């Protein structure tokens, strides 16, 4: 074999090695990039805390005079007031203990340092200074149509007109469960902080 031919073969072998090394490194960087990205931007999980929670059909929501209802998978309390439906994060705005609803007193009470909040989330008694945090809610029709989008402010969602519509629509559809028109979803990826007394004065 001539020296020129053997040099050529050697060169081709080195090129092949360089290409395969390059391809391996590229694949490695892509995999590392994917893993890092998933850490930096965690995927929102459906129907679990941190994502969008299916809170239930509109008929399952508490009525305006009812006690608040706790939804464990979303870590929020659903409250129906005159202004509409709210979803309050279950962490106390003092030091994040989990508060609960006191049926006798009709207020939320935190077991850690005794803060109390009204059913519409306002601080009644410290040491907490900030009203309860809330999550935005929306109304979905027939499983995929958004009829009331998430509100940026997290203000109570007025659902009364859907409650009035729903029984009539259900009767039209023979009252089957498939005819359940409206349901409520809560976005637990966005916590909207409550106001303080000084915010209210500003």
Does position 109 bind ligand FES by CB under 6 A? no
Q: Among residues 94 and 134, whose Cβ is nearest to ligand FES?
A: 94
Q: Which is nearer to ligand FES, 119 or 130 (by Cβ)? A: 130
Q: Is 127 in the site for ligand FES (CB under 6 A)?
A: yes
Q: Which of 67, 73, 81, 112 binds ligand FES (CB under 6 A)?
A: 112
- For ligand FES, the binding residue among 86, 115, 166, 188 (CB under 6 A) is 115
Contact set for ligand FES, span 37-96 (CB under 6 A): 92, 94-95
Q: Using the rule CB under 6 A, is 97 a contact of ligand FES?
A: yes
Which one of residues 58, 110, 132, 139 is an interface residue with ligand FES (CB under 6 A)? 110
Smallest gap from residue 36 Cβ to ligand FES (A):
35
# binding residues, ligand FES (CB under 6 A): 11
Output the smallest distance, CB 155 to ligand FES, in A: 24
Provide the minimum distance between the beta carbon of 116 and ligand FES in the complex, in angstroms, as a whole number.
9
Contacts 24+ apart (CB under 8 A), 61-64: 61/85, 61/159, 61/184
Q: Smallest distance, Å, CB 44 to ligand FES?
A: 27
Residue in the structure block whose two tokens are 């998978």: 73
Decide if residue 113 touches ligand FES (CB under 6 A): yes
SS (H, E, C) the chain: CCHHHHHHHHHHHHHHHHHHHHHHHHHHHHHHHHHHHHHHCCCCCCCCCCCEEEEEEHHHCCCCCCCCEEEHHHCEEEEEECCEEEEEECECCCCCCECEEECCCCEEECCCCCCEECCCCCEEECCCCECCCEECEEEEECCCEEEECCCCCCCCECCHHHHHHHHHHHHHCCCCHHHCCEEEEEECCCCECCCEHHHHHC
Give the residues lining the site for ligand FES (CB under 6 A): 92, 94-95, 97, 110, 112-115, 127-128
């Amino acid at each position: 074999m001539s020296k020129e031919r053997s040099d050529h073969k050697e060169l081709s072998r080195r090129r092949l090695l360089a290409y395969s090394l390059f391809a391996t490194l590229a694949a490695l960087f892509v995999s590392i990039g994917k893993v890092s990205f998933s850490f930096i931007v965690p995927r929102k999980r459906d129907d679990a805390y941190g994502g969008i929670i299916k809170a239930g059909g509109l008929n399952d929501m508490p009525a305006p005079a009812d006690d608040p209802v706790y939804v464990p998978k979303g870590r929020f309390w659903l409250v129906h007031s005159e202004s509409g439906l709210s979803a309050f994060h279950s962490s106390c705005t003092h030091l994040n203990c989990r508060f609960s609803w006191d049926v006798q007193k009709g207020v939320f009470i935190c077991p850690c340092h005794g803060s109390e909040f009204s059913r519409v989330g306002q601080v009644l008694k410290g040491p907490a200074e900030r009203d309860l945090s809330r999550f935005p809610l929306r109304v979905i029709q027939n499983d995929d149509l958004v009829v009331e989008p998430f509100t940026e402010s997290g203000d109570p969602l007025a659902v009364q007109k859907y409650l009035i519509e729903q029984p009539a629509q259900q009767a039209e559809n023979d009252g089957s469960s498939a005819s359940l028109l409206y349901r409520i979803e809560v976005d637990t990826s966005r916590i909207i902080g409550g106001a303080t007394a000084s915010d209210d004065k500003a």
